[in-house]
Each structure stands twice: as C-alpha cells, then as structure tokens.
Amino acid sequence: MTLWAQSSSPVASPAASPTTENANSISLNTPADTFLYAAVITKSIDVWNPPQADRLSGNIEELDDRRIVFIENEKRREIPSDRVMQVAPVWRTQVAADAHKFFVARRYREAKDAIAKAVTNDLPRWQQRLLVAEFVDVFAALGEYRVAGSVYLKSLAANQPPAMLLAHMPMNWTSLEPDRMHYEAAVEWLASDDEFGQVLGASWMLLGPDREAARAKLLKLHDSKNAAIASIAMAQSWRLVPPLETSAKLAEWFEFRDRLIEPLQIGPTEFIAERCARTGMIDLAIGQWSRIATMHSNQSHRAWNALNAAARTLNQQNRDEEANRFLTWAEEFRAQ
C-alpha cells in the first residue's frame, strides 16, 4: 500500500499472508495480537448495560471489510469483522512499531514521516490499514481536514477497511465550516461513485449552499449494503433536524448511537454534544464531551477538541472552576 500523500497511486500489491500450512509454527513463535469483539446489541438488550465485548487473542493473518482471520491455540479461525472494535497488534516491523509510538505520544509531525516510511509491503496488509488510519488522524489533528479526507479515500477506503476504521473518516459532525478548497473537494467526493466519498462529501456540504444535494445522497446511502456506511449516513441526517425538535429526538438518537460498535459512536456523540449545547442543555452536552474523552481516547485530537469545547461552554455559563478542570484534563491530549 502506497500512501496517497506520498504518491498519486494509493495501492500497492498486497503483502504476503501466512498460509494455513505454516500457521502452527507461526502461532508458536510469534507473540499474539489481541482484539475486542463486540456483542450484537439487539432490541431486547439494555443499551445502558450492554454485554461485555469478548477479548480474543491470536496471530492475525487478515482484517478487512469482511473478516478477521487469526490463529488461536494453533487453530485457524475466521469470523466477520464488523464487530471488531479495537485491536492491539504486535507490529511485524520495528519501523511500524516506532511510527505507532510517535502517534500515541501525539508527536504528529514526526508520526507523519514515520508512518509514510512504515507503510510498505514489508508490513502485512491488515497492519498497513491500521497505520493508514493513524496517518489520517495525524492530518486531522494538524487541522488539514481536506488532506485527511483525500488520504482516507485514496489510501484506506480503496483498500477494504474493516467497519471500525470508518470512525477515522474525517467527517464533519458539527457546525464547523470548510474553507473554499475543502468545500470544492467535498463536491468532488459527493459526485464520486464511491460510497465512502459520498458520505464524507455530504458531511461537509450538508449545512452549505448545496445542502439539498448532500441530503439526497445521504437518503440513498441509508440503504447502502455496507451497514456501517448506512448507519453513519443515518446519523449524519440528524444534523438536518431543526434545533427546536432536538429534545424530542434525543432518546431516539441515543438508542441508535448506543447500538453501534463503540468506535463508530464518536461522530454521533460529537453531534449530540454540540446540538445539546446550542439548545441550552448544557449539562447533557458536558456529559457527551466527557464521554468522548473517556471512551475514545485513542483519537486524541477529538478528545482534545471535545474537552476544550466543554471548557468554553462552561466559561460562557460563568462556571469557571469546572471549566478549568476540563482544561486540565485536556492537557492529557495536547499535541507534543
């Protein structure tokens, strides 16, 4: 996989995967990757007390938009990937491990160069996807949302990402306005044949002059065969609900959000938090911003934005002592 930011071609030949025949020897000699596999949240399950995710371990061979394949206790297992919500990989190359450390340490400029060097065919395809998601986050953390969107579409969406990585798509969930170049890019994304591009473009156009085109595309995406895209498109449509109807819609929004796998909940939560703040439900907004920093700390730039939004809102309410506590908390997520 070649990163778009480094080359106009986002795709390289897939890295070799272990064969079934040599799986046993690999499982005995390679440290195990671990991942969380979420339970399905049905109508009969209390979303406030959902069942715990299963923690599984084994040597992962593949993780894409259809399946996760791994060696567990010397046996090869294959299960759908749509419920995978977190992966702790044993990085197969040292350069990948070092690049990931830069990202975790929020040293974004160093991470950008390191990830670009690490995403090569020396690294298994599934680990390339994880690093590219971090590469996208790096650009978003640096405020380069247009570049982040282009990288996501050309270097990740084009390479079969599992559902959990849709959480890294640099969508607009708030009232943030794109600059001219970003908006022009969004128009192109919306007009593409790719559903990832369509939902990303719609998110940045939904509150602008071409909102009807964005709205129409979202309505079509509600029926996408990709369940994660359909869910995201549905949640994006909430942004068209008039502010006066917010209170009546909250229970529905919370229930829908809480049935998503945890990574995909971050965008809807960002929307709910800002909408609650705008409609005078301050304490509820503060709770939602706190939820982002607590549940989605792996996306440090979004946790940082959430906590600072909470602090600004509290200051506006003359709740300065509480605001200062949020600013102190935000320091945990400051870019280095």
pLDDT tens digit sequence for 123-179: 999 999 999 999 999 999 999 999 999 999 999 999 999 999 999 999 999 999 999
The pLDDT of residue 51: 80
Comparing C-alpha atoms, which of 180, 124, 103, 189 is closest to residue 151? 189
Q: Which residues of the chain have pLDDT under 70?
A: 1-2, 4-30, 42-48
SS (H, E, C) the chain: CCCCCCCCCCCCCCCCCCCCCCHHHHHHHCCCEEEEECCCCCCCCCCCCCCCCEEEEEEEEEECCCEEEEEECCEEEEEECCCEEEEECCCCCHHHHHHHHHHHCCCHHHHHHHHHHHCCCCCCHHHHHHHHHHHHHHHHHCCCHHHHHHHHHHHCHHHCCCHHHHHHCCCCCCCCCCCHHHHHHHHHHHHCCCHHHHHHHHHHHCCCCCHHHHHHHHHHHCCCCCHHHHHHHHHHHHHHCCHHHHHHHHHHHHHHHHCCCHHHHHHHHHHHHHHHHHCCCHHHHHHHHHHHHHHCCCCHHHHHHHHHHHHHHHHHCCCHHHHHHHHHHHHHHCCC
The pLDDT of residue 45: 62
CA distances from 256 to 88, 201, 249, 265 (A): 27, 22, 11, 9
The pLDDT of residue 86: 97
pLDDT tens digit sequence for 295-311: 999 999 999 999 999 99
pTM recorded for the entire structure: 0.91
Which domains are present in the chain?
Answer: 23-88 (2.30.30), 152-333 (1.25.40)
The pLDDT of residue 17: 38
The pLDDT of residue 27: 38
